[in-house]
A and B are shown apart, each in its own frame.
Chain A
Amino acid sequence: MKLFNIRGGVHPEDRKHLAADQAIEDLPLAPLLHVPLQQHIGNAATPAVRRGQQVAKGELLGTGQGPISAPVHAPTSGRIMGIGSFPAHHVSGLSVRTITLQPDGKDRWLEGIEGVPDPFTLDPDEIAARVAAAGIVGMGGATFPSAVKLNLRKKYRLHTLVINGAECEPYLTCDDRLMREHTAQVLDGARIMAHALGMTQIIIAIENNKPQAQAAMTQAAADHAAVRVAGLPMRYPMGSEKHLVQTLTGRETPARGLTADIGVVVHNPATAFAVHQALRLGWPLIARLVTVSGGAITRPRNLRVPLGTPVQHLIDYCGGFRVEPTRLISGGPMMGNPLPGTRVPIVKGSNGVLALTAEEVNAQAAAPCIRCASCVAACPCGLLPLQMAAHARAGDLDGTVRLGLMDCIGCGSCSYVCPAHIPLVQFFNYAKGEMAARGRAKQKQAETKRLIEQRTARIEAIQQAKREAMAARKRETAGKPPAQTPADRRAEA
């Protein structure tokens, strides 16, 4: 199919050979699973179990709260050891509410779990409800509740579902393996989502460095006229939703908008797979594929991991470290984040655990900017990273925003090519954090102001009422109010 060009981008060494030929393996259960109540964007789930309770595999552990949230389920059967704080799968290393489950080794499914024989007969709302109940979130790392995205049809006129199999981050191969080994299921999940979204066509977009996945998908899609497979040129960040859609449709998503603004919704293959399992089998999201790779890992692997499994357990299964890693990363090397330790659990959004050597990271002390404009050429968003960074460094937040900070997708292409090794993204993250804090402060201020105003109004209203009552009484005692009709007088009497 015809593809369109995107601006900028970089060609990092993809290093996928480390794990690409490793078939998916089931990771054995860890002695303890730590299932955080928040593994998604939105409100945390609230616990639905008590300490000491026996739970079956797939049983609800936490209930989603509010419109943007997701429930969590038991990855296996066992006993709830506690509900408390545990280090999160997050750079900060802060603790979050987590349910700790001790597997009983039986891996016994909850009674009564079953799928729908033909999801295509279901009402779109029903599909979205089941996806929501299964706790499915965007599994490419964004972790936005998928059901919310399936409901976009109510607000937008949609035509195309894109399955984002670009997997443009180096090292990661779990989407590749999934599309190769579970081709039919991914396709089925995609078709179910398209049905729920009321869409007419599906494009499965896969970068050209995954020829087997392309071939498998093309073959599977042959039976479906509405499904096409697109071979994407290899370029980072091809997997950025907005840039992927531009590559496929030639249209840019309006600033601050969604791809839905131009009629397209993008989902990850792993999400499609989870939707397939939720609808056909009734399974909630309790496991995911994780690529364990990097130069410091003895045996890179693609693993099917029960959610809540400690990262250390994955590393041990892969033979531990070959050499001491300088960096332990969750996700890909371009947009992933450092892990605060190996105790933290795998969550719904973890697609990779990378142990990288110093040679791979190639970090160097930052030198002064030489204005070489490599970052400008690399930015897929048409920004001027060097100027944004200069303003951010000088503490000029407004200037940074004026230069387009909020249009920056944080892809890291600029930092990647900078010959002076300036940590540009670090500046942008800092500035974005400041902006968010400002927003929160403003919101808080507005909220406080609103409460104060409400209170003043209430007090004012009470006083007004009192004054009126007083005036009325005064009028009554002081004499006859003017122009009273006989009827009024009668009533008063």
Chain B
Amino acid sequence: MYSDTPIAGPYAHERTSVSRIMVLVVLALVPATLFSLWQFGWPAIFLFLITVGTCLIAEAACLRAAEKPLRPSLLDGSALLTGWLLAMSLPPWAPWWIGVLGGLIAIVVAKQVFGGIGQNLFNPAMVARVALLISFPAELTRYVAPAPLFSPQAPGFGEGLAITFGLDGPDMVTGATLLGQVRTDLGQGHPLPDILPGIYQPWSDAVGTLAGSMGETSALLLLLGGLFLLSQRVITWHIPVATIVTLALAATLMNLYDPAHYPDALYHLVGGATLLAAFFIATDPVTSPISPRGQLIFGAGLGVLIYSIRTWAAYPEGVAFAILLMNTCTPLIDHYVRPRVYGRDRKGAPIEYADDADTEVTR
């Protein structure tokens, strides 16, 4: 009649599942993604499909090889999300093999080798991006100025295919990203007030009409997606807020110190992949700390690292490196930063109350 296996309760469960979480994250990414695909046209669409497809196929192949059941893991949506985030961190007109290689690195090396979902130390999409960046710096830094789908300067379907698959395509109108351009110009000794006016309009950057990877384009739509995730309680505010506040603080301080060489906070927030990282990548549950205080530390560390790499290291954009570096700190943070247990002080000893009026009087 009824099942009487003595499985412990509760005998009620929130309507939630791993796939629901992944699907919500993907849903939150959809507006920014669609906008970017429209901005960068057919080549971007091809690269996106190739990257996501590779991740799904790689996941299936690994599961088959490990003789694990396919359906539950494939349907949980984690491989889809990894592929999606990776695609959004690539230059939109990158050749097809970048997507394939990236997908394989992300799923096989960064996820399945560690033991599959929940086991990986590093965010798979960021591992793939960094590996690609180091191995193929030319392909990974070749950006194009947006040319919205169906606009005269946009490549058609056939041309798009040619671009992605490296056949004889039209020449790319390459354009540097905002962060890249500024770094280059600063390096040549120009002060900011001379550089910025020509290339940086906070508004267009927020809307996303500049060169960049797909995830670097529309800060506004990414922010919208992030707020959606917060409202659905898929993520908590700790990591995004800590990241953004720290980054903004660092930028503001340096900007006050020397406005000619250090751009202000808004520049750092809308430029580059800041919001994608803060809301979608740093909040990857597997590779971020579990306690709220730990998450604050993680976010703050991330903000500092992003700022430092962008400002002083060899790369104009440091989000992927910063995330990987913070990922390595996660186990440490989780070990040392724990919530206080009910009825105990921070050291773990039972609470004692100073006034003895309410406490035990005799034994």
Contact = CB atoms under 8 A, between A and B. Distances in A.
**Chain B binds chain A:** yes
Interface of A: 7, 10, 12-13, 91-93, 155-157, 159, 170, 242-243, 251-257, 260-263, 324-329, 333-341, 354-356, 360-365, 367-374, 376-377, 379-384, 386-387, 404, 407, 412, 415-417, 419-421, 423, 425-426, 429
B361 A156 contact: yes
A384 B290 contact: yes
Contact of B4 (A338, A384, A425): A338
A338 B352 CA distance: 38
Interface of B: 1-18, 20-21, 72, 76, 78, 116-119, 236, 285-286, 288-292, 295, 334, 338-344, 350-353, 357-363
A13 B12 contact: yes
B11 A336 contact: yes
> A-B pairs with the 6 shortest C-beta distances?
A255-B343, A412-B10, A263-B358, A372-B285, A373-B290, A382-B339
Nearest to A246: B342
B342 A417 contact: no
Contact of A384 (B286, B291, B357, B358): B291
Contacts of A257: 343, 350
Contacts of A170: 12
A326 B2 contact: yes
12 contacts: A242-B343, A252-B351, A254-B351, A256-B343, A355-B2, A360-B12, A361-B11, A364-B17, A365-B72, A367-B117, A371-B118, A377-B236
Given A156-B361, A328-B2, A386-B290, A415 B9 contact: yes
A300 B326 CA distance: 54
B286 A157 contact: no
Contact of A368 (B4, B10, B116, B353): B116
Contact of A157 (B10, B116, B361): B361
A155 B363 CA distance: 6
A215 B222 CA distance: 48
A420 B286 CA distance: 13
Contact of A370 (B1, B7, B117): B117
A7 B342 contact: yes
Given A13-B12, A417-B16, A341 B236 contact: no
A315 to B, nearest CB: 11
Contact of A362 (B1, B12, B21, B350): B12
Contacts of B290: 371, 373, 376, 384, 386-387
B360 A260 contact: yes
Given A262-B359, A326-B2, A423-B7, A252 B343 contact: yes
A193 to B, nearest CB: 19
Contact of B21 (A92, A355, A387, A419): A419
Contacts of B343: 242, 252-257, 381, 407
Contacts of B358: 157, 159, 251, 262-263
B353 A262 contact: yes
Nearest to B76: A367
B2 A324 contact: yes
A420 B12 contact: no
A233 B3 CA distance: 34
B8 A426 contact: yes
A416 B285 contact: no
Kindly name the residue among B1, B5, B340, B352 whose own CB sees the greatest number of chain A CB atoms within 10 A.
B1
B14 A417 contact: yes
A377 B292 contact: yes
Given A262-B358, A329-B11, 18 more contacts: A7-B342, A12-B10, A12-B12, A257-B350, A261-B360, A324-B2, A333-B10, A333-B11, A356-B12, A412-B9, A415-B8, A415-B9, A417-B14, A419-B17, A419-B18, A419-B20, A421-B13, A423-B8
Contacts of B76: 367
A334 B10 contact: yes
Kindly name the residue among A360, A365, A370, A423 whose own CB sees the greatest number of chain B CB atoms within 10 A.
A370
Nearest to A92: B6
A382 B5 CA distance: 30
Contacts of B15: 362
Given A157-B360, A361-B13, A412-B10, A372 B21 contact: yes
